[in-house]
Homo-oligomer: A and B are copies of this chain.
Amino acid sequence: MSSCSTPVLPGSFSAERTQKMFPVLSNEAGWRCQGNLWSNLTDICNLLKIPAPNCSHDEEALFQHVRFKAGQRIHTIGQHFDSLFIVNSGFLKTVLIDEYGSEQVLSFPMKGDLLGIDGIHAEHHASEAVALSDCDIIILPYKTFSALGRTYAELELAMFSVMSRELVREQIMIGMLSALSAEAKVARFLTNLAERFGQLGYSGKIFNLRMTRHEIGSYLGLTLETVSRTLSAFNELGFITVDQREIGIIDPQALKTLRRLPPAKSRKKMTEQVSERVSALVGKNLLPQWSKDIAPALN
């Protein structure tokens, strides 16, 4: 059958969970709270990397943590919007479901990322957030949070700033989707991921992909086969190592400088002083013939 159908969740209780989430009032009741972790406003501002308002009454605003197992949904499409979510640990994906039921991956949030902004407008979530690993999520009731925004001016500004940053991120995503070749998309994806891992204190050189090739492809507007082929090509070129989901970044510069087709006639003047790495790649139809002219990183 078509592999585009929605993935089957491994969680045995996910079905009942989904049902429970649609009723408006069920949120907190539906989530199991293993471990009674709470965060105050300062913790949250640190997580989001925004300046914390110095208020002496941290105790007045406490926000609950909830744990999710891999495969569980933090929120689903159409669910009534009550709260924003901050990722304290773990890895997730957010997806849109089109009219035929196939997934469109929008982002891969991790620690410090804010989820659920899309629900503010219509008071219903427009996308769905799924845990790719076990996750610890902080619940930010929207009413509470916007009230705090009115109390602390910096917080309101910071919230605008975070939303603005998300907007810019998506704009860049749009530019990338419509202007880059498959190789460039995958290269940028790896570069971004490495950078984010690095910022979180993990290794930016060796890391595990938490998502399938299919999810990467959906995110980048490619098929899983194209993603797989491109990773293999980068591997043979010596840019990266690939062992299932473990990626090793060997030549970050090559990944960063790999770009898309120039508009015009660079292909006439292909010189013979071509690095073997490029030749090999071109031979496999994995890069266009004139790549040699625009891949300075390959020398």
A interface residue numbers (CB < 8 A to B): 1-4, 78, 96, 98-100, 102, 104, 106, 117-124, 126-127, 146, 149-150, 153, 156-157, 159-168, 170-175, 177-179, 218, 220-221, 259, 262-264
Bound CA–CA A7/B170 (angstroms): 25
Of the candidates B1, B96, B119, B160, which one forms a contact with A146 in the assembled complex, judged by CB atoms under 8 Å apart? B160
**CB contact under 8 A between A218 and B178, given known A127-B171, A156-B150:** yes
- In contact, B170 and A171 (Cβ under 8 angstroms): yes
**CB contact under 8 A between A160 and B157, given known A2-B123, A150-B150:** no
Bound CA–CA A98/B100 (angstroms): 33
- In contact, B2 and A175 (Cβ under 8 angstroms): no
- In contact, B164 and A117 (Cβ under 8 angstroms): yes
Question: Which of A164, A166, A173, A221 gathers the greatest number of chain B CB atoms within 10 Å?
Answer: A164
> Mind listing 15 A-B residue pairs with CB under 8 Å?
A2-B123, A102-B179, A106-B175, A118-B167, A118-B168, A120-B161, A121-B161, A127-B171, A146-B156, A150-B156, A163-B163, A170-B171, A174-B177, A178-B218, A179-B221
**CB contact under 8 A between A171 and B126, given known A120-B161, A220-B178:** yes
- Residue of B at shortest CB range from A264? B2
Of the candidates B1, B121, B150, B157, which one forms a contact with A168 in the assembled complex, judged by CB atoms under 8 Å apart? B121
- In contact, B178 and A104 (Cβ under 8 angstroms): yes
- In contact, B149 and A156 (Cβ under 8 angstroms): yes
- Residue of B at shortest CB range from A294? B100
- Residue of B at shortest CB range from A152? B150
- In contact, B2 and A263 (Cβ under 8 angstroms): yes
**CB contact under 8 A between A164 and B102, given known A2-B264, A156-B146, A174-B170:** no
* Residues on the B chain within 8 Å of A179, using CB: 98, 102, 104, 221
- In contact, A174 and B174 (Cβ under 8 angstroms): yes
- In contact, B171 and A118 (Cβ under 8 angstroms): yes
* Residues on the B chain within 8 Å of A98, using CB: 175, 179
- In contact, A165 and B100 (Cβ under 8 angstroms): no
Question: Which of A106, A117, A153, A174 gathers the greatest number of chain B CB atoms within 10 Å?
Answer: A174
Of the candidates B3, B218, B263, which one forms a contact with A4 in the assembled complex, judged by CB atoms under 8 Å apart? B263
* Residues on the B chain within 8 Å of A118, using CB: 164, 167-168, 171
Question: Which of A78, A119, A120, A157 gathers the greatest number of chain B CB atoms within 10 Å?
Answer: A120
